[in-house]
Each structure stands twice: as C-alpha cells, then as structure tokens.
Amino acid sequence: MRAAGDLVARMQITRGMRIGEAKAYVAERLGVSPSDLSDPLAMEDVRRDQQLGRITTFEMSYASESSAMESKFRIAELLDLRVNCVERFAQHAGVARAMTAVDSWA
C-alpha cells in the first residue's frame, strides 16, 4: 500500500492476470504509467486523490479520508472489480447499490 501493490495483487488474485497484464490494467484505470505503480511518491498523490487508502502513521493520519472498507468501495469501482467484502458489506448494511450482485451469487 505504499504504492499500488495491493491493487495489482487484487487483479492477480481475483482475475488471474499475469503481472504485466495486471500492471497495465491498474495503470490504465488509475490514469498513470505502469512505472508509476511502484513509485510511492507518485502513488501517494493518486491514492489520496482517488481515496484508495494509505499507510497511516502517528505523524500522518488521514481521518477525513477514506480508509479500509471505505477505500475498498472506491477500489472496486475504480478497477471495475467485484470485491467480495464490499458486496457483503453493502448487503448487510442495506445499501442498495450492490444488492443485485450478491443476490446473483448462490
């Protein structure tokens, strides 16, 4: 999460994308170059602007920004990816957005 490793990992875990394909996909969705994906400085701005969650420390906290589950909603939308816990959370919380997606899972 210092850069975009978690996003690339999601494309591998869920869609079985090879590393080159996963990097290209994530880069295209984020509007950056693949080389930016491993640059923590470049990704700091992207993660902040896109609300994708960041590393927090005692000195650098972002209570007014998205984090954790909130960020995963953003990640799912940005990557056009069905994130299981996002769908479950939306269903359990009664958020209509993801209801049909979960209902379709037997």
Cα–Cα distance, 79 to 54 (Å, whole number): 17
Q: Does 15 contact other proteins by CB under 8 A?
A: yes
Q: Does 51 bind other proteins (CB under 8 A)?
A: no
Please tell me whether residue 46 binds other proteins under the rule CB under 8 A.
no
61 binds other proteins, rule: CB under 8 A: no
Nearest to 81 by CA among 33, 21, 35, 12: 12
Q: Give the nearer residue to other proteins in terms of CB position, either 49 or 84.
A: 84
H or E, element range at 8: helix 5-15
Assess 76 for contact with other proteins (CB under 8 A). no
The least distance separating other proteins from the CB of residue 38, rounded to whole angstroms, comes to 4
Q: In the complex, what is the shortest distance from the CB of residue 31 to other proteins, in angstroms, rounded to a whole number?
A: 18
Q: Say how many C-beta atoms besides its own lie within 10 A of residue 56's C-beta.
A: 13
Amino acid (one-letter) located at 37: L
DSSP 26: H
What is the Cα–Cα distance from 106 to 93, expressed in whole angstroms? Answer: 19
Q: Which residues bind other proteins (CB under 8 A)?
A: 1-2, 5-6, 8-10, 12-19, 22, 34-35, 38, 52-53, 55-56, 67-69, 71-72, 75, 82-85, 88-89, 105-106
